Amino acid sequence: MTLERVSEMFRQHAGTIALEESGTMIAIVIEELARLLADSHGRLPDETFESLVRIGGMLYREGSSQHRAKADVDAIMKKSSRE
């Protein structure tokens, strides 16, 4: 399979995810990736495993950043509604 084909598959799948679902979806994807890595540890080459862990780390960081941003917006909205 080519890199272009995989990228196209990513784009197609991304087009099926509603924007409001993306926050919860990232948590689901991180959990799914963690499960796949746990199940395949020892069967994947070390380099592949480490690459997937790095990808998971970036997804985790992005999810955490989105969560903090949402919490900040919620706090601002609550504060402004009291004023």
CA torsion sign for 70, 74, 79, 83 is: positive
Give the model's pLDDT for residue 15: 85
Identify the residue with better confidence: 79 or 10: 10
Distance, in Å, from the CA atom of 78 to the CA atom of 3, rounded to the nearest integer, reads: 46
**Domain-wise residue ranges, the chain:** 19-82
- Following DSSP, what letter does each residue of 24-43 receive, concatenated? HHHHHHHHHHHHHHHHHTTT
pLDDT band at 73 (very low <50, low <70, confident <90, very high): confident
Which residues have a Cβ under 8 Å from the Cβ of 65 and sit 6 or more positions away? Answer: none
Burial category of 82 from C-beta neighbours within 10 Å (exposed 0-12, middle 13-18, buried 19 and up) = exposed
**Mean pLDDT along residues 21-41:** 87
**Mean pLDDT along residues 56-76:** 84
pLDDT band at 71 (very low <50, low <70, confident <90, very high): confident
